[in-house]
A = this chain, B = another copy of it.
Amino acid sequence: MTIKKHVDKDAQTSSNRSEAVIHTGDLERGLGYSLRRALMSATKDYERIMNPLEIRPAQYAALILVRNNPGFSQSAISQALGIQRANFVSLLDELEELGWVERRSSQKDRRSFALYLTKQGETLMKRAVLVHAEAEKAMAQRLGAHDSKLLLQLLHKFADAI
């Protein structure tokens, strides 16, 4: 950094103004920022509770979609996840190397693969779904049943209205 520094005799630090509080008002009135903060907060619950399973959010989402939609292609699943199919390749590689998901080459269209959970994957997901439900329960308990359902509805209304 080659920029000159001025000296400030009125700096607001915790040492000279212990009562000083940061004003975030303008930011917290925004949906974008508030969504980001809420997601960061939700991620903490996810990590705390899902930690023993060592399944990242993106992996869990992919596993759920393959489980609920066996035989679909990588393009179909990645599109449903809202990610680029290019980014889904390495994610799938991981899940396949972990022995949870299987790519089966399709007869009808030899360009594509049909995706399935393996036996191990099925076994894992039986447990993962239960643990994940605990994480969701922890989040829902922050708001109570009524408001967490309401939040869910509003989030979908928001995301679908684009």
Contact = CB atoms under 8 A, between A and B. Distances in A.
Interface of A: 1, 3, 5-16, 20, 22-46, 57, 61, 64-65, 68-73, 75-77, 79-80, 82, 93, 96-97, 102-109, 112-114, 116, 129, 132, 135-136, 139-140, 142-143, 147-148, 150-152, 154-159, 161-162
Contacts of A37: 82, 155, 159
Contacts of A155: 31, 34-35, 37-38, 151
Given A29-B152, A82-B40, A157-B142, A68 B23 contact: yes
One complex includes copies of this chain to the number of 2
A75 B65 CA distance: 41
A43 B32 contact: yes
Contacts of A1: 93, 96-97
A33 B57 contact: yes
A116 to B, nearest CB: 8
